[in-house]
Amino acid sequence: MTMFRKALMVLSMTLGLSACHPDDGQMTMGDAGVVGVADAGASTGPAAFLGKWRYEAGTSTTMGVCDDGSSFDIDADGTETETFTAGSQANEVVATDNGGCPITCTVSGNTATCSGGETCDGVTITSDVYTFVGGKLHEAASGSVVLDDGTQCQLTAPASVLVRVP
């Protein structure tokens, strides 16, 4: 059960999510839950993402559904962070969670799309997308984990909001 909890915590920190991106990041979920167009005056490109960000408590739920029929939800408590640094290419950033797991993301406008297929602490990331809107990051992610007993679980985090840490 320790591997299960560790994997869920890593996923929660790595995949905390927030906006479905049916139109490649142009439609976003605002702070009041109102869908709208990304802020026209907001910073874009990799510079908008750089720095340390904290998941807002109550905005990030990771949901898991396992092949044995079990399911669970894990809520971020507001202590989990992501730190974005410059990547090796001009349009890249590297997101590193407070557990030390990095993932490379390609930035286009106000959206950072992270590489799928990367594995850290037993969690394989399928997709991870951050959108910069109104001075906050909104994240949508999915992944999977295989527990110690061989049970596979699919993980989704569709609505996380991150605020910049001063």
Structure tokens at 33: 């839950």
**Bridge partners, 152 (sequence order):** 146
**pLDDT exceeds 60 at position 33:** no
Instruction: Tell me how far apart the alpha carbons of residues 29 and 98 are, in angstroms, rounded to a whole number.
Output: 25
Give every CB contact of residue 53 below 8 A, 6+ residues apart in sequence.
81, 82, 83, 84, 137, 162, 163, 164, 165
Q: Please report, rounded to a whole number, the percentage of residues in the chain having pLDDT higher than 70.
A: 75
The conformation of residue 10, written as its DSSP 8-state character, comes to H
139 or 4, which is more confident: 139
4 or 143, which is more confident: 143
**Bridge partners, 63 (sequence order):** 73, 156
**pLDDT exceeds 70 at position 4:** no
Q: What is the pLDDT of residue 12?
A: 43
- CA-based angle 61:67:73, to the nearest 5? 15
- Choice among 7-16, 40-49, 79-88 with the minimum mean pLDDT: 7-16
10 or 155, which is more confident: 155
The structure's pTM equals 0.74
Instruction: Tell me how far apart the alpha carbons of residues 160 and 76 are, in angstroms, rounded to a whole number.
Output: 9
Name all domains of the chain by residue range, CATH numbers in brackets: 2-164 (2.40.128)
Instruction: Tell me how far apart the alpha carbons of residues 120 and 114 are, in angstroms, rounded to a whole number.
Output: 14
For residues 15 and 128, the answer to whether their CB atoms sit within 8 Å is yes
